[in-house]
Structure 1
Amino acid sequence: MHRIDLVYFNAGGGHRSAAIALEEVIHGQGRPWEVRRVNLFEMIDPRELFYRTTGMKPENYYNARIALGWTIGLAQELRILHGLIRLSHRSLVSQLARHWRRTRPDLVVSLVPNFNRAMYSALAQARPTVPYATVLTDFADFPPHFWIEPGQSQHLICGTARALAQARAAGYDESHVHATSGMIIRPQFYANEPFDRAAEMRKLGLDPALPTGIVMFGGHGSKTMGRIAKRLDDFQLIMVCGHNVALAEQLRAMRSCAPRVVVGFTSNIRDYMRLADFFVGKPGPGSISEAIQQGLPVIVVRNAWTMPQERYNTDWVKENRAGVVLDSFSAVRAGVAEMMANFAGFRASVAAIRNRAVFEIPGILERLLPARGARLPAEYLHPWQLSGPAQRDVKKSSRHSHAGVTSVVDPHPGRQQPREDRTACWPETH
């Protein structure tokens, strides 16, 4: 049985979510693999020295900043992080190689940015015939040294035309670049079980006749949600705060002139999205992709506070007419008005987007795995393993085309365009 390592970390939550989704689909497809989800920071710091020294895990600082909205300057801090990673490259490689010598994977799949040079080098040292693949969980790379590392004999799995172009520009040939139809989202978002939207909305105290927005800022929320709640006081909203308990309490204490539901952490985001007509939030790749899969146009912002790796996502939204991009959430009311004025067009554009990436990637990974007992093809070998003419004349295979894309069912069949009705002031719904 092949052993597949899916490497993730908990910074932001999307990387872990992608690993879980991919593992679930691999098992659902009946592939005879031993799938192991591996936390990168547990590999490089198995004794938790960072936590013992600082009192926090490495991801917690990042997550706390996102929750507080302290995102300006992250591009500069990212360069500092890359410098620190370069300085510690030798020790990182040593620790990772030690882990992979002991655990002996047959394929390593990275779902994280920033550390792919160290992980690739460590695997080449510990298990030189084992393929290494990076699945970009962002719409595009943010070079240098974010997702795509030039000069590595590895595989890149990309979900947009922009990411594919970046991989090719970095020197990767077609045999090492693999296209999917989008980002990884959980397979539950593709389920098509019967759903009585009106009845479920009434259970929560919501009016099925009113246009409804769902407001989300990742797994840890954002204080920006309070300002959005004030500016959309007379719009029916579902506000998802994730692990941010203080934010949820603050929003529940606010009064509004339309029904409103405040949700803490939930594993059933899809159920709440199915109640909504549009999405408001940060332009994270997971949130945008989940919303679109549920038929929701999006309202997002791009400005100096937008995380650098998420800025291209707003271009993608514009290019695909998947929603409205604002300069600031201070204009969110105008953004909702624009959304409602062109709602049918936005809904049609969103319905045309077909993303089956989570179901396509296992097939790509299968093609990367060598047959048991077979000699590894030259195109999978690291350059220093080749000698003589093989170094000059490695023929690159072009057989790794991505899986076909199937249609996605409209999650809201027959739903009419929301009306512009408004109600008198409503008490908060908890």
Structure 2
Amino acid sequence: MKRDLQLIYFNAGGGHRSAAIALQEVMARSHPEWTVHLINLFDVIDPEHYYQKLTGFAPEDLYNLRLKRGWTRGLATELKIFQAMIRLSLPKLKNKLQLFWQATRPDMVVSLVPNFNKVMYQALTEALPKVPYVTVITDLADYPPNFWIEPGQGQHIICGTEFAASQALASGYEQKWITKTSGMILRPSFYRKQEVNRLLHYKELGLDTDRPTGLVMFGGNGSNEMLKISKELSAHQLIFISGHNTDLTKRIESQTTLARHVAMGYVKYMDHVMQLSDYFVGKPGPGSLSEAVHMGLPVITFRSAATMPQERYNTVWVQENKLGKVIPSIRELRCAVEDLLNDLPLFQLHVQKINNTAVYEVVEALSRIMHNSSGQVLNSDAPQN
């Protein structure tokens, strides 16, 4: 049966759009009868781009700039201010969303974004009360209140960890509204795992095949913290991925180090680069940690006052599953790398126990939800506060 789905994302951090693209790719193969639209939320609530005209920034740009510069302290307070602004603007935002959904009339709306799930749910249920609304949490945990999980809504929630599912239960949702998957959404290319000729690539990159290689990555735009890592791990062979930050790539390349440091910009097939690596170093982003673990790499990540609030639980997940090391700062990085390499086979064994097929599980769950909700008014049995 033909169905029209909307996957709602925005570009803050990059992981939301990446998850939407991954789902769209799987849906195109498993459900060719579905028409899947990727919808940038800010194109709906600010179609004239007034915010960008006023400030010179797209709404997500300032956030991404802070990640790029490593300016992440104070984000917890700023998040509360941002959420208060959403509450104050709720009637206007809801009206724009209602008009959009009345015009487009989807059969299902899937949110891949935090903070806006209350206003989007209310707008959809008032405009199209029979259309299911689903939130797919693209973090390993919620950061309550009012981040991912909104109590009292007759909607489905898809969680990638037991902890996130327990948070949904604690918020008043019955088990029937909650779907637990095996992890975060990864691109399908991570499951194809085309074999990479490591010896050939090492020769091309000037890497020593007899030395372990670390992969350093801090999101799609890199971070200036990578320059500090290059200095701290001067004697360790490393590959740096700085994404779209070409200036950072050049600065890493220009540093003098004892061991070979390879600096790359944007990489289309990250799974190929991960096959050239033995361990991962980076911020505790849910996507990058999950990609590394899926590709068999133990991880070293950071937790401090500068860690973004929604990513703090990710370090707990690393420790509880014995997937690597969590350290407070780059000053401890050299010892952490040495400790990890000394026990590398043991960490690799723990990493191999994680079996993540979430991207396929989410599509299966959405298919089931759409089938079961056909013709029903979903908010008739909403969980209560």
Q: Same fold, TM exceeding 0.5?
A: yes
Partner of 1:257: 258
Matched with 1:83 is 84
Deviation track 1:32-64 (CA, whole Å, cap 9, x = no partner) reads: 100000000001011111111111100000000
Matches for 1:148-163 after TM superposition, within 5 Å: 148-163=149-164
Distance across 2 between alignment mates of 1:170 and 1:244: 40
Q: Deviations over 1:233-254 (max 9, x none)?
A: 0111000111112211111111
Q: Secondary structure at the match of 2:262?
A: strand
Among all aligned residue pairs of Structure 1 and Structure 2, give the percentage whose two residues are the same amino acid: 49
Partner of 2:308: 307
**Pairing 1:206–2:207 present:** yes
In the other structure, the counterpart of 2:378 is: 381
Shift of 1:371: 7.3
Residues of 1 paired with 2:59 and 2:49: CA distance? 10
Q: What are the Cα deviations for residues 3-24 of structure 1, in whole angstroms up to 9, with x where unaligned?
A: 0100000000000000000100
Query: TM-score w.r.t. structure 2 length?
Result: 0.97
Per-residue CA shift, 1:242-300, capped at 9, x if unaligned?
11122111111111111121011121211111100000000000000000111000000
Give 1:195 shift. 2.4
* Paired residues of 2:105 and 2:128 also in contact (CA < 8 A): yes
Deviates further, 151-160 or 248-257: 248-257
User: How far does the alpha carbon of each residue in 1:76-106 deviate from its partner, in whole angstroms, 9 at most, with x for none?
Assistant: 1111011000000010100011111101110
Alignment CA distance shift 1:370-1:352 (3 Å): closer
CA RMSD of aligned residues (A): 1.5
1:138 maps to amino acid: D
- Amino acid corresponding to residue 223 of structure 2 in structure 1: S
1:357 Cα deviation after fit: 0.1
Aligned position for 2:24? 23
In structure 1, C-alpha distance between the alignment counterparts of 2:272 and 2:306, rounded to whole Å: 30
Cα deviations across residues 152-181 of structure 1 (Å, max 9, x unaligned)? 000000010100000000000011000100
1:303-382 pair list within 5 angstroms: 303-370=304-371, 375-376=375-376, 381-382=378-379
Superposition deviation, residue 27 in structure 1: 1.0
Which structure features the higher share of helix residues? 2
Matched residues in 2 for 1:283 and 1:3: separation?
34
1 CA distance for matches of 2:303 and 2:195? 37
Which residue does the alignment assign to 2:180?
179
What is the one-letter code of the residue matched to 2:297?
A: L
Do the aligned partners of residues 303 and 204 (structure 1) sit closer, same or farther apart at CA in structure 2, a change above 3 Å counting? same
Report the residue type matching 2:378 in the other structure: L
Contact kept? 2:7, 2:39, Cα under 8 Å: yes
Q: Which residue of 1 aligns with 2:284?
A: 283
Larger Rg: 1
Task: Report if aligned partners of 2:242, 2:248 keep a CA contact under 8 Å in 1.
Answer: yes
Verify: 1:105 aligned to 2:123, yes or no: no
1:208 partner amino acid: T
**Aligned mates of 1:290, 1:121 — CA distance in 2:** 34
184-193 or 314-323, which moves further after superposition?
184-193
Instruction: Report the counterpart of residue 64 of structure 1 in structure 2.
Output: 65
Structure 1, unpaired ranges of 5+:
395-430
Q: Which residue of 2 aligns with 1:408?
A: none
CA distance in structure 2 between the aligned counterparts of 1:302 and 1:222, rounded to whole angstroms: 16
* One-letter amino acid of the structure 2 residue matched with residue 112 of structure 1: V
CA distance in 1, matches of 2:131, 2:301: 40
Kindly indicate whether the alpha-carbon contact (under 8 Å) linking 2:8 and 2:39 is maintained by their aligned counterparts in 1. Answer: yes
Instruction: Determine the C-alpha separation between the residues in 1 that align with 2:210 and 2:228.
Output: 25
Query: In the alignment, is the contact (CA less than 8 A) between 2:137 and 2:160 conserved in 1?
Result: yes
Q: Which runs of 4+ in 1 moved over 4 A?
A: none
2:8 maps to 7
Which residue matches 2:144?
143
**For each residue in 1:173-205, what CA deviation from the matched residue of structure 2 results, as whole angstroms up to 9, or x when unmatched?**
011000100000101011133322111221111
